[in-house]
Structure 1
Amino acid sequence: MTALSLEDREREYSPSSCIGGDYAPFLRAYAELSAAALAGRAVQRDLPYGDCPTQRLDLFVPPASGADAPLPPLLVFIHGGYWQELSKASSLFGAPGAQGAGFAYAAIDYTLAPHASIGAIAIECRNALRWLHAHGAALGFDPSRILVAGSSAGAHLAAMCCVRGWTEDHDLPAGLPAAGVLVSGVYELEPLIGTSIDKALSLTPRDAARWSPMRLPLDSFPPTVVCWGEIETDEFERQSRAFADALAVAGAPRPELFEVPARNHFDVILDLSERGTLLGDATLRILESLRDRSP
């Protein structure tokens, strides 16, 4: 367990503590930008990747550039909200930038805590990737060129989609995902135990060990961006740096690691696919490298 007191952990894992406590304006921005992303764009909504009503995703695919043109890579976004709030409906803001650069974009829903444990949510996200991989060619994107991205708890879930050899779920198909973008994530869950965040999660030390990417095999992790905003608590920066170090020690490709200036925990993800931003350019570079690599 971290040496921080419960009071310190409560503050450090409350990202709104850096912005005066009110993060509602950022949630409104997610919703407004996501609604705008639907205007004038072809989108397939509520595609089922499982039997539960919460197991749905929205998919944007750019227009085909020709009968013989290769299928585009796919950017899959997993929302945050400490595994207990938000949805795909407020996660579509990355679609315009991705589509505008010639890439497909998907946002996934999952069952929120306390109706599902963190482990069960991670398996749902992995199943969403399995479904996308199985149906990619028919849906209009290249299933071998999928980049998974996530913010905050979504970064944790994206990381859980990248690990191989997790004993609670069988591995995803080889090469799935092909890369990751992890933004302001929590990769070691134990510090959350006992905090107000934990009320809906009911974590035990055993749960934290089972469901923390930091504790799982990392040697086969794909190429990854790990980043955070400048206006964040020390713990979010520490967790990001520690996870990047763990990937390097495990022998995985060394992540591209950086802090995004003048961004906080909530608005940093708005840059996800925006060209001309530090995060957006890094994401688009990965997608371009997936597009341009040999089959």
Structure 2
Amino acid sequence: MESQLHRYGQDPSQYGVLYGEGPVAVLIHGGFWKAQYGLDLMEPLAHDLAARGWAAWNIEYRRIGNGGGVPETLDDVCAAIEKLDDLPVDRSRVVAIGHSAGGHLAAYAATRVRVTGVVSQAGVLDLQRARELRLSNGIVDTFLGEHPTSVASPIERLPLGVPTLLTHGGLDDIVPVEISQRFAEASGASLIVEPDEDHFGHIDPDNPLWKAVLAWL
């Protein structure tokens, strides 16, 4: 499938890859904001969406270890979404879809830039609770630096103001389902839990967790 690389800044990590045409799905990969994880994680979903008539904008951003953290990572994701104004896409519908830390970034972005919907796939939506649970060996503290959770935590920045879907696997031992449950209770977002799925089924186009997203879209 053809794709186009577009840069939204001068840093090597400030770019995205565009697939297909139509309404836009902004894909934001996870990996606890760490530089060793990249946008290749979301490529299968990008191909699937493009085949279904979407423009998939799979974005990269600065991460911990290559200039990222708060506020750089947050600013990059917002800038990548704003770059859509310069691309040949249908801006009437822009849904931010993120997995894990990408789910956090998708929800966060909705509080700063114009999107029409958010999908959080096992998103780290409550940074204070993630800090208490010491997810990924306490990575939240590294991500935040000296900043308070209120600067970056979606649950502390409600309302998002757009329709929001949360998906989570009941067997997820990387981002516990309680994180999505807490956010759903606080925000009124729709929550779909697949009891027999784990953390990584979200990025498999054949998995029930992804099929739930397609049905919602």
Q: What TM-score, normalized by structure 2, do the two folds share?
A: 0.87
Per-residue displacement from partner, 1:164-191 (whole Å, max 9, x unpaired)? xxxxxxx42xxx2111110111112124
User: What do residues 47-74 of structure 1 show as CA deviations (whole Å, max 9, x unaligned)?
Assistant: 1011211101011014xxxxxxxxx111
Q: Is residue 44 of structure 1 aligned with residue 7 of structure 2?
A: no
**Residue 42 of structure 2 contacts residue 203 of structure 2 at CA under 8 Å; is this kept in 1?**
no
Q: Is the 8 A contact 2:131 2:141 kept in 1?
A: no
Kindly indicate whether residue 92 of structure 2 is the aligned counterpart of residue 152 of structure 1: no
Residue of structure 1 in register with 2:210 after alignment: 280
Unaligned runs of 5+ in 2: none
Matched, 1:265 2:199: yes
Structure 1 counterpart of 2:118, one-letter code:
G
Instruction: Report whether the alignment pairs 1:73 with 2:27.
Output: no
- 1:222 maps to what in 2? 162
Structure 1 segment 100-119 matched on structure 2, within 5 A: 100-114=51-65, 115-119=67-71
Which residue number in structure 2 is paired with residue 69 of structure 1? none
Structure with the higher helix share, 1 or 2: 1
Give the structure with higher Rg (CA): 1
Partner of 1:128: 80
Secondary structure at the counterpart of residue 131 of structure 1: helix
Partner of 1:212: 153
**Structure 1 residues not aligned, in runs of 5+:** 1-40, 63-71, 164-170, 249-254, 288-295
TM-score normalised to structure 1 length: 0.65
Change beyond 3 A, Cα 1:111–1:103: same
Contact 1:125–1:157 at 8 Å: present in 2 too?
yes
- 2:122 equivalent in structure 1: 184
Q: Is the contact between residue 260 and residue 278 of structure 1 (CA under 8 Å) also seen in structure 2?
A: yes
Query: CA offset at residue 107 of structure 1?
Result: 0.9
When the two chains are superposed, the root-mean-square deviation of aligned CA atoms in Å is: 2.4
Flag the 1:193–1:229 CA change in 2: closer, same or farther, 3 A.
closer
% identical equivalent positions: 25
Task: Indicate conservation of the 8 Å contact 1:185/1:240, yes or no.
Answer: yes
- The structure with the largest strand share of the pair is 2
Per the alignment, do residues 61 and 257 of structure 1 end up closer, same or farther by CA in structure 2, a change over 3 Å counting? Answer: same
User: 1:191-206 counterparts in 2 under 5 A?
Assistant: 191-193=129-131, 195=134, 196-198=137-139, 201=142, 203=144, 206=147
Report the 3-state secondary structure (helix = DSSP H, G, I; strand = E; otherwise coil) of the residue aligned with 1:93.
Answer: helix
